[in-house]
Amino acid sequence: MLALAVGVLAGCAGSSVSRPTDPALAKGQDLYNARCAACHGLRGEGGTGKRLNGGAVRRDLPDPAAHRRLVEQGVAGTAMPAWAGVLEPDEIDAIVRYEREVLDGLG
């Protein structure tokens, strides 16, 4: 799994997202890159995980609370793990905010 993540990240190094100036979004970016990008892509373009850019997040999860629950609980029968108990609540909040405010606007 680590080799896959490293390979995905190395292959996408030139397409990374600019560093947010907002500290909470920067924290979300760091966590997303470490925990989510291997499946969802550095720019949220998708891969083994769902696409998160191009309006996909707000279209599929218009309610931020539902988005947070999905990250916490994962999706049964898929590769999407439950992050509750692995990540702190503020870390989940940072990832959700980054996905909604940064990645969703990319295309």
CA dist 39 → 22, 34, 47 (Å): 25, 11, 6
DSSP string, 44-75: S--SSSPP-TTTHHHHH--SHHHHHHHHHH--
In a domain, 7, yes or no: no
Domain of residue 39: give its range: 23-105
Whether residue 12 lies inside any domain: the answer is no
Considering the domain boundaries, does residue 78 fall inside one?
yes
Distance CA 14, CA 31 (A): 19
- Residue 100 belongs to some domain of the structure: yes
Nearest C-alpha neighbor of 30 from the set 84, 102, 81: 102
pLDDT at residue 16 in the model: 82
What single-letter DSSP state applies at residue 17? P
In a domain, 69, yes or no: yes
**Does 79 fall in a domain?**
yes
Task: Count structural domains, the chain.
Answer: 1
Mean pLDDT by 10 residues, the chain (107 residues): 39 70 97 98 96 96 96 96 98 98 93
In a domain, 54, yes or no: yes
58 is written with which tokens? 């707000």
Q: What is the pTM of this model?
A: 0.85
In a domain, 57, yes or no: yes
pLDDT at position 15, please? Answer: 65
The CATH number of residue 89's host domain is 1.10.760.10
- What's the confidence (pLDDT) of residue 107? 79
Cα–chain center distance at 20: 15
